Structure 1
Amino acid sequence: MSTDATPEYDHEELGLVAGLEIHQQLDTATKLFCDSPTVERDPDEADRELTRRLHPTKSELGELDQAAVEESRVDREFTYLAYDTTCLVEEDDEPPRRVDDEALSVALQIADLLDVSVVDQAHVMRKLVIDGSNTSGFQRSILLGQGGEIETSEGTVSIDDLMLEEESAKRVEETDDGVVYSLDRLGVPLVEIGTGPDVRSPEQAKEAAERIGMLLRSTGAVKRGLGTIRQDVNVSIAEGARVEVKGVQDLQGIEDIVRGEVGRQAELLAIRDELRDRDAVVGDVRDATEVFSDTDSGVIRGALDSGGKVTAVPLYGFDGLVGREIQPDRRLGTELSDHAKRHGAGGIFHTDELPAYGVTEGEVEALREAVGAGEDDAVAIVAADPETADLAIEAAADRAAAAIEGVPEETRGANDDGTTRYLRPLPGAARMYPETDVPPVEPDPSDVDRPELLDEKTDRYVESFGLDRGLAEQVAFGRRFPLFETAVERGVDPTFAASTLESTTTEIRRDGAPVENLTDDHFLAIFELVESDDLAKEGVPEVLATLAEDPDLTAAEAVEAAGLSGVSDEAVREAVREVVDRNADQVEAEGMGAFSGLMGEAMGALRGKADGEVVSDALREEIGKRT
């Protein structure tokens, strides 16, 4: 992400307060409440579909969560892709089973690393979620502990709570009727870590997330890769409001999002002050269809020809402010448009950007006259089918009214460029209620061992195995550190094992090899071939690439397929002699000074079939004969 165009703000002066919610999938064999595997599937492998329409329900106290109510106003059908591994629990056709022991054990390890106080008895709760991401309309969640902390260079960040939850279904695509989800991810065990509002800078937010991520990976039992860890960020400034930004995918994104949200709130407060100075108000929604009856605007013409209409709202005192930028390439008008889009509209037009899009100056003047707007006022319009147009313009009008108050509390989504977009209101306590189908659990922290931290592991690799710190850190923080330790236990040279698992795999991945197909057994077999002198180290990259393309081969078969079967000492000497013969003039002129250049040529001629030390000895011997 990049927000180079974002102005700099004094975060301390503005009173920045931020907190994090880290969601991390656990790498367990089965799901949290059933025995289905936690393996990701290709949607093309689905063998059936089911559909749902979800509606909000009242809490035990008879209250409705406002976020769920707004979500329910969007009329959508949800389709779920099911597989041969999908069970009745995932389909919401059978009650959940007991909490998975493996997931609970990993979560308790995480609690230990975060210094969290674990509860004596943990109860499963239902969290109302009707965006379609769960077939049941709620997510099951367990509070495991509270009261932990982590350290950053800018001070302590408290851990408010540690939750063990079931992951949501994976969104596949949006259709005209609704959203398609895949059930392979639904129910995968997930920990949610919520920090206190102790973060005071974008840099500290990134550092805190980085620290928590390191602690999570130290367990060796969390999933890795895109989408397996998600960060939500809660941000507010002194006169602003708490805004939750969801779906931040990477560490740099956290820093950019915090910085960008501070700027957005600061700009909204400046707009608020200007609107109040102007005594701005939002007028009543009007039908403006007649104004555009002969329009040449493609968007409006298309809506009217399909039986739609144009709705308008006068924004008195808003002139010039609807088009004011609050984030790079995002304006107050974009905020109004986001709300309109929630109800099916393609967006809004407003007079700060008109005439444009086929709308003429005359139509703008007629629009202003029709709604009673003067030169200091703005007008927003929506062109759509009648129901959508009415709902969308009301939503835009409500958001405009909120601009006079300042910064609304809301949930927003992270964009790739570091900006954010409106999603829904902040959820309230009314969406939580007990899960009666799963009995409470009594977690025992004494049953789990505290894992070695990854930074401690890095130090040990340097001290015990002689790795340089950069390589040691790569291995310790990488996915294959258990394989590295197994290889070293079997007598493989630590530096060779580490560089193969990290540098060599990175190299062949960049060349297009599907390294995700390589298993631990592939690597261990290759190490064994090298140790027994049946494969030169120089041939390892080509053999790994061969195995990645055809993982059903054995390592020995891959050596044959790559044409890297070992050669005799005489064959090495013959190849070296040919290299020296081709470069006789250089050898005569430079003597042993020609060694470095000829060594590369000799290794290339042998294509990794011979060990570098053997080739080096033969080349030195042959050059010595000629000088």
Structure 2
Amino acid sequence: MTETEYDYDALGLVAGLEIHQQLDTATKLFCQCPTELREPEEATRTFTRYLHPTRSELGELDAAAVEESKVDREFEYLGYDSTCLVEEDDEPPHELDEEALETTLEIAQLLEMRPVDQAQVMRKIVVDGSNTTGFQRSSLIATDGEIETSDGAVGIEDLLLEEESAQRVAETESGVRYSLDRLGIPLVEIGTSPDIRSPEQALEAAERIGMLLRSTGKVKRGLGTIRQDVNVSIEEGARVEIKGVQSLDDIDDIVRNEVARQVELVAIRDELGEQEATVGEPEDVTDVFVDTDSGVIQGALNSGGSVMAVPLYGFDGQVGREIAPDRRLGTEFSDHAKRHGAGGIFHTDELPAYGVTDEEVADLREAVGADPEDAVAIVADETPVAEAAIEAVVERAETALEGVPEETRGANDDGTTRYLRPLPGAARMYPETDVPPVEPDPSEVPEPELLTEKVERYQDEYDLGAGLAEQVAYGTYMPLFEECVADGIDPTLAASTLESTLTELRRDDVPVANLTDRHLNGVLRMVEDGDLPNEGVGDLLAALADDPDRTPAEAADEAGLGGADEDAVRETVVEVVERNESQVQAEGMQAFSGLMGECMGALRGKADGDLVSELLREEIQNRA
């Protein structure tokens, strides 16, 4: 499929964003458990649950929850020494975390939003196992905001404070395994109005919101701490919600590819209409493949399974038609079949292949009454799985006759998407009776300084260069930088260490992730107090990263990185100059550069470079 740049105005593109950002609070939203992530190997216990949808207050069942419940799965949860009864759903939730609420109100100010008079916690039905309760707790905090982009204003409809879901660890034979370390971390959800009209504007809006969030200095950073959902539709298509865009840089590609997918699905609809296409009834065609050489089909039959088929009248050539990069209409059918446990589907637009012969394709067509202008899709698996999967293919093929189905899709790493479930409806929300409402008070919440304003202040107040100031302001360590400077540490030292030195160590495969704020602050404090020369910072941080249980002072002593006094430095300089006496006599001060490197190597980071330089110049002048 060649990349096409569409006239998005002519297509009637409408898009909106939902940004989900974890807050960096001390405790979780409805309990006092810490918000640090754990390794699955640290789990101290496990338990299992089966989840089922519940009816709303009006007695309605949410369509997305109903479809999710059709897949019979056992959910296993990993608990830790820090896991409490609230997380296990064996105790009612506590009151809404005050720190999380205050941070959310700061974000509301930056988005120019109006806080609600009373925040009521709601339950949102989720039965995919990502919450032990079968629902997610969520509360509307503010409405009616706005951000600016180069293509005009984008409204911010709502700002919600929610609990993060459990982390999916692995698929198991009976279902899914989740880790409870992430469950309950405070999370804000920011929903824009459908004001976005191009992929580029979608990216710009997401970048603007991301900058505002980081300006608080109170959001978590790193992979998985922020997720973007994108809602996309074109005039002849339908609203599609794309979940889980991990990288900000992928948003414009996601929108671009979804537009292309909807354009192709509309074209397929029109061509199927011209062919007067219809979808037939599923049939058991196991007899056609009794002697097949197809490994997939034979494996299913050897296990006592079946081959189910559905004739797709007038679909020839359309099932194999590409609708997005490396994805076809048949891939959509396969996504639906996989939801019921099947490995995928075969269809006649791609057969003969995979061990299926021309003769078997002809027999298949004859068995279901398919002519050359028709297509046939088949599923081979255990009989109940094959029957459920082929019914899902039938439903998706019927929607192909109508065009673009409204649905929730998942983002793939390559900028394409896959089917997840139907769009949720209002029936998935109902009040949480265990948590009392709160009345947000924004009057005492300070308005955070924007990152763009921080860059200017760092240049003016701390005399940082423009590039370094921007790196610090937008970087992960911005809150630590401000803490260090407030503690009297030289701003240039702090900035260069946190942005340049750590980057160099990371490139050298030093496990920088092991370094805590305590390590970094402690090392910088040693330099500021004269206990460690600047030149020893990298070596000391590397030593701490390899053994993070030590304090900076302990690591410095063990590595011999403590600052040498002036007499010791002078003694080393004299030794180096005396070893190179003939070079000094011949070259004079021109020998300085080479001897400086030798002196620093001999001192192994124990002395400040300025002091070494001063004493070396003095010694060379005396001897020359």
- Range into which the TM-score falls when normalised by the shorter chain: over 0.9
- The answer to whether the 8 Å contact 1:546/1:561 transfers is no
* Partner in structure 1 of residue 75 of structure 2: 78
2:56 is equivalent to residue 59 of structure 1: yes
Q: Which residue of 1 aligns with 2:349?
A: 352
* Whole-angstrom CA distance in 1 between matches of 2:215 and 2:69: 41
Q: Report the secondary structure of 1:538's partner residue.
A: helix
Structure 1 residue 421: Cα displacement: 0.5
Q: Does 1:207 pair with 2:204?
A: yes
Aligned residue for 1:405, secondary structure, equals coil
Q: Does 1:96 align with 2:93?
A: yes
Measured in 2, the distance between the counterparts of 1:412 and 1:198 equals: 21
1:232 to 215, 229, 233: 229
Match of 1:366 in 2: 363
Cα shift readout 1:443-491 (whole Å, capped 9, x = no counterpart): 1111311111121111111110100111111212223333323333343
Structure 1: which 5+ residue stretches go unaligned?
none
* Residue aligned with 1:504, SS: helix
| Aligned match for 1:11, one of 8, 21, 33 | 8
Does residue 274 of structure 2 align to residue 257 of structure 1? no
Distance 1:519 1:389, change over 3 A: closer
| Partner Cα distance (1:323, 1:585) in 2 | 81
The one-letter code matched in structure 1 to 2:38 is R
Q: Which moved more, 1:390-399 or 1:508-517?
A: 508-517
> Are the equivalent residues in 2 in contact too, given 1:108–1:448 (CA < 8 A)?
yes
One of 129, 140, 143 as aligned partner of 2:140 = 143
1:194-593 pair list within 5 angstroms: 194-569=191-566, 571-573=568-570, 575-576=572-573, 591-593=588-590
CA distance in 2 between partners of 1:564 and 1:86 (Å): 41
1:573 and 1:611 map into 2 onto residues whose CA distance is 12
Equivalent residue for 1:32, pick from 29, 32, 45: 29
Contact 1:45 1:83 in 2 (8 A): yes
Which one is further off, 245-254 or 600-609?
Answer: 600-609
The structure-2 alpha-carbon separation of the partners of 1:366 and 1:442, relative to structure 1 and needing over 3 Å to count, comes to same
Q: Distance in 2 between matches of 1:380 and 1:582?
A: 84
Q: Partner amino acid for 1:616?
A: S
- Offset of 1:579 from its aligned partner? 5.4
- Per the TM alignment, residue 568 of structure 1 is displaced from its structure 2 partner at its CA by 4.7
Task: State the partner residue of 2:66.
Answer: 69
Q: Secondary structure at the match of 1:193?
A: strand
Question: Which stretch shows the higher mean deviation, 54-63 or 407-416?
Answer: 54-63
Q: Distance in 1 between matches of 2:247 and 2:339?
A: 27
1:270 aligned partner, one-letter code: A
Q: Deviations over 1:63-104 (max 9, x none)?
A: 111111111111111111122222222212222222122211
CA spacing shift, 1:294–1:119, aligned 2, 3 Å: same
How far did 1:263 drift?
1.3
Distance across 2 between alignment mates of 1:210 and 1:597: 48
Name the SS for the 2:340 alignment partner: coil
Query: How far is 1:584 from its partner?
Result: 7.1
Deviations 1:308-332 (A, max 9, x none): 0100011111111111111111111
Cα distance between partner residues in 1 of 2:361 and 2:335: 23
1:102-127 Cα offsets, whole Å, 9 max, x none, are: 21111111111111111111111111
One-letter code aligned to 1:320: G
> Is the contact between residue 322 and residue 352 of structure 1 (CA under 8 Å) also seen in structure 2?
yes
By how many angstroms is 1:240 displaced? Answer: 1.0
Instruction: Rate the CA distance shift 1:53–1:494 in 2: closer, same or farther, 3 A.
Output: same
How far 1:42 sits from its partner (Å)? 1.8
Aligned to 1:124: 121
1:555–1:89 CA distance, 2 compared to 1 (3 A): closer
Once structures 1 and 2 are overlaid, which stretch shifts more, 549-558 or 236-245? 549-558
Query: 2:168–2:179: 8 Å Cα contact kept in structure 1?
Result: yes
Deviation of 1:589 (Å): 7.0
CA-based RMSD: 2.0
Residue 12 of structure 1, CA deviation? 2.5
Contact kept in structure 1, 2:233 and 2:239, CA below 8 Å? yes
Distance in 1 separating the partners of 2:257 and 2:572:
62
C-alpha distance after superposition, 1:123-153 (max 9, x if no partner): 1111111111111111111111210011112
Tell me, in whole angstroms, the C-alpha distance in 2 between the residues paired with 1:401 and 1:144. 41
Contact 2:62/2:425, CA 8 A, preserved across alignment: yes
- The corresponding residue for 1:170 is 167
Provide the C-alpha distance between the structure 1 equivalents of 2:89 and 2:518, rounded to a whole number of angstroms.
Answer: 38
1:612 lines up with 2:609 in the alignment: yes
Q: TM-score, normalised by structure 2?
A: 0.96
- Quote how far apart the aligned CAs of 1:582 are: 7.0
Distance 1:593-1:460 versus aligned 2 partners, 3 A rule: same
Q: Which amino acid aligns with 1:395?
A: A
Are the aligned partners of 1:324 and 1:332 in contact in 2 as well (CA < 8 Å)?
yes
Q: Alpha-carbon deviation of 1:23?
A: 0.7
Structure 2: gaps of 5 or more residues: none
> What is the deviation of 1:590?
5.8
Identity of aligned residues (%): 71
The alpha carbon displacement at 1:623 in A equals: 4.3
1:429 alignment partner AA = A
Is the 1:170–1:184 contact (alpha carbons within 8 Å) kept by the matching residues of 2?
yes
| 8 A contact 1:114–1:150 mirrored in 2 | yes
C-alpha change, 1:105 and 1:570, in structure 2 (3 Å) is: closer
Question: One-letter code of the match for 2:613?
Answer: S
CA apart distance, 1:594: 4.8
**Would the aligned equivalents of 1:218 and 1:452 in 2 still touch at CA under 8 Å?**
yes
Deviation at 1:583, TM superposition (A): 6.7
The answer to whether the Cα contact below 8 Å between 2:21 and 2:188 also exists between their aligned partners in 1 is: yes
How far the C-alpha of 1:61 sits from its partner, in A, is 1.5
Letter of the 2:604 partner, please give it. Answer: R
Residue by residue over 1:147-177, the C-alpha shift from the partner in whole angstroms, topping out at 9 and shown as x without a partner, is 0011112211100111111111111111110
Contact 1:163 / 1:193 at 8 angstroms: preserved in 2? yes
- Partner AA of 1:310 in structure 2: V
